[in-house]
C-alpha cells in the first residue's frame, strides 16, 4: 500500500512539473501581452491595447488560417478516408509501400517539401500567389495522419467482414462505403480530422516558404510580429492565437469523444 501511494505521488509530482514546464512560458507570454510595459511588469498596469493592435494588424491572418485548415480538412477527408479503406481492403506489400510513400512528406523537412512544390509549380503565377498553394502543402503534410487514423478505426471494427456481408446482400460500393465503413470508423476519422486541423493551423516551416505577403497565416504572422514589433505586441499575438485555437480544439475533442461513444454503441447494437 505504501509503495502504491509513493508511485501515485511521484507520478503526480512529475505530471505537475511537466505541466508547469510547458504552461509556464505560455502564461508568461500571455501576461506580457496584457501589461503596459513588459520590462516594468504588472506594476505598469494592465491593458488590452496590444491585443487591439494585433487584431487590427493581423486579423486577416487569423481568418485565412481557419480557411486553409478547413479546406485542408475537406481535401484530406475526400482523399484520405477512401485511401484508408482501399489499404484496409487490400493489405499486403503494395499497401505497405503506398502507406510508406504517403508518410514521406512527414519524414522530409517542411522546407524541403515547400521547395519541391515551388520548383514544380512555382512558375504557375496564379497558383504561386494564391492560398491554394499553401493548401496543397498542408494537404501533403497532413494526409498521412488522416489515412493512419481512419485506417486504425477501420481495422478495429472488422469492417472487411461487414463489407463482404453487405456485398453478398447486393449493396453497391457506394452504399457499403457511406452506410457501413464511414459510420463504423467515425471515431478514427474524427481523430484524424482533429489532427489535421490543429497541424494545419499551427504549421510554420512549410508555410513560411510557400506564403506571399498577401497570404500570411497565423504562425507566419506570429513570427513577423516577434521580428518587427514590440515584445508586448508579439505576446498579445500569442494570446489571440490561443483564444482562437483553444475553442476549436476543445470542440473537436468533444466531438471526437462523442463520436467514439456513439460509434461503440452502434457497433455493439449491430453485433
* pLDDT tens for each residue of 13-62: 777 777 767 777 777 777 777 788 777 667 777 788 888 888 887 788 88
pTM over 0.85: no
Checking if the pLDDT of 126 tops 70, the result is yes
Name the more confident of 160 and 263: 160
DSSP lists the bridge partners of residue 35 as 46
Fold observed for domain 51-264: MetI-like fold (1.10.3720)
Across 24-33, 63-72, 153-162, which has the greatest mean pLDDT?
Answer: 63-72
Kindly report, residue by residue over 192-232, the tens digit of the pLDDT. 888 898 889 888 888 888 888 888 888 888 787 777 667 77
Quote the pLDDT of residue 124: 79
Closest CA to 192 of 80, 55, 44, 46: 80
What percent of the chain stands above pLDDT 70?
83
What is d(CA 159, CA 14) in angstroms, rounded to the nearest whole number?
A: 40
Kindly report, residue by residue over 89-119, the tens digit of the pLDDT. 777 777 777 777 777 777 777 888 888 888 8
- Model confidence band, residue 155 (pLDDT cutoffs 50, 70, 90): confident
Closest CA to 189 of 159, 247, 145: 145
Contact assessment for residue 231 and residue 32, using Cβ atoms and an 8 Å cutoff: yes
Closest CA to 85 of 141, 31, 147: 147
Quote the pLDDT of residue 93: 77
Contact assessment for residue 29 and residue 238, using Cβ atoms and an 8 Å cutoff: yes
Q: Locate all alpha helices (DSSP H) within the chain, ordered by sequence.
A: 2-32, 49-89, 93-102, 104-107, 110-121, 125-128, 131-155, 159-168, 173-176, 182-184, 186-202, 205-210, 218-228, 231-270
**160 burial type by CB count under 10 A (0-12 exposed, 13-18 middle, 19+ buried):** middle
Checking if the pLDDT of 253 tops 60, the result is yes
Amino acid at each position: 500500500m505504501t509503495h502504491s501511494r509513493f508511485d501515485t505521488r511521484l507520478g503526480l509530482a512529475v505530471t505537475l512539473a511537466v505541466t508547469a514546464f510547458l504552461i509556464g512560458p505560455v502564461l508568461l507570454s500571455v501576461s506580457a501581452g496584457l501589461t503596459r510595459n513588459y520590462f516594468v511588469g504588472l506594476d505598469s498596469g494592465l491593458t488590452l491595447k496590444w491585443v487591439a493592435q494585433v487584431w487590427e494588424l493581423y486579423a486577416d491572418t487569423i481568418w485565412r488560417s481557419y480557411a486553409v485548415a478547413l479546406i485542408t480538412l475537406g481535401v484530406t477527408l475526400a482523399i484520405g478516408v477512401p485511401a484508408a479503406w482501399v489499404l484496409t481492403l487490400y493489405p499486403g506489400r503494395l499497401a505497405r509501400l503506398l502507406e510508406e510513400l504517403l508518410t514521406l512528406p512527414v519524414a522530409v523537412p517542411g522546407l524541403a517539401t515547400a521547395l519541391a512544390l515551388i520548383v514544380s509549380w512555382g512558375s504557375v503565377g496564379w497558383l504561386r500567389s494564391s492560398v491554394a498553394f499553401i493548401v496543397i502543402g498542408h494537404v501533403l503534410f497532413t494526409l498521412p495522419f488522416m489515412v493512419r487514423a481512419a485506417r486504425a478505426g477501420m481495422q478495429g471494427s472488422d469492417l472487411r467482414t461487414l463489407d463482404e456481408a453487405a456485398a453478398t446482400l447486393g449493396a453497391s460500393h457506394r452504399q457499403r462505403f457511406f452506410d457501413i465503413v464511414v459510420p463504423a470508423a467515425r471515431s478514427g476519422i474524427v481523430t484524424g480530422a482533429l489532427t489535421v486541423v490543429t497541424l494545419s493551423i499551427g504549421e510554420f516551416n512549410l508555410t513560411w516558404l510557400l506564403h506571399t505577403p498577401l497570404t500570411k497565416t497565423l504562425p507566419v504572422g506570429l513570427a513577423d510580429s516577434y521580428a518587427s514589433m514590440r515584445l508586448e505586441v508579439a505576446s498579445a499575438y500569442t494570446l489571440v492565437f490561443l483564444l482562437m485555437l483553444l475553442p476549436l480544439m476543445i470542440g473537436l475533442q468533444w466531438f471526437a469523444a462523442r463520436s467514439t461513444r456513439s460509434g461503440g454503441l452502434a457497433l455493439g447494437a449491430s453485433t
